[in-house]
Amino acid sequence: MAYKIVNLIDIYNNIGIDETNELLKTYKCELNKDVEYFLQQQAIPFSKQDISRTFLVVTTYQQENVIVGYFAISNKTTIIKKEMFKSQTKKKRIAKYAKYNEENKGYILALPLIGQLGKNYNNGYNELISGDVLLKLALNKIKEIQNNIGRKICVFRMRR
């Protein structure tokens, strides 16, 4: 199945905020209402404020474009403690991308973060994409971004 990744900014710039909000209302995730809430209530404001970028994953189903999932990427600063490195080689690799902070005894890194990721359970659209494929699409988008800015590290936040 072919998927198209569309930046939410491009959608609301093309069709307007009101129509975009109507489109986002077609996304349902009963398994995790926070994921649904983010897309419907926070994704546009976060995009406008440059807090994160939200990407809709769209495919064609019964001659219509439908949202099968989405992911949101932001930039996150984190600290990796010095003692987490078992080898000097890994420490040297991180040191290329990070700044050592004596106070925290760790390396401060700015990393892309997949903050939201979810499939659309409305009308059974969740069956049109697997979670693995959705995650791979998000990681590919990060690789694309990193190719443009020159980074190699990513953070994925798991909630249980």
Q: What is the CATH number of the domain that holds 62?
A: 3.40.630.30
Query: How many domains does the chain fold into?
Result: 1
Query: Which residue segment(s) compose the domain that 10 sits in?
Result: 4-73+112-156
- Model pTM? 0.85
CA-to-CA distance for 40 and 98, rounded, in angstroms?
35
Mean pLDDT across 77-94: 82
Helix intervals (H) in the chain: 8-15, 17-24, 33-37, 43-48, 88-97, 131-149
Please write the tens of the pLDDT for every residue from 40-80: 999 999 999 999 999 999 999 999 999 999 999 998 888 88
Q: Has residue 84 been placed in a domain?
A: no
The H helix count followed by the E strand count for the chain is 6, 6
Residue 160 has pLDDT above 50, yes or no: no
Long-range residue pairs from 39-45, CB within 8 A, at least 24 positions apart, any chain: 39/70, 39/116, 39/118, 43/8, 43/70, 43/72, 43/116, 44/8, 44/12, 44/17, 44/20
Please write the tens of the pLDDT for every residue from 11-22: 999 999 999 999
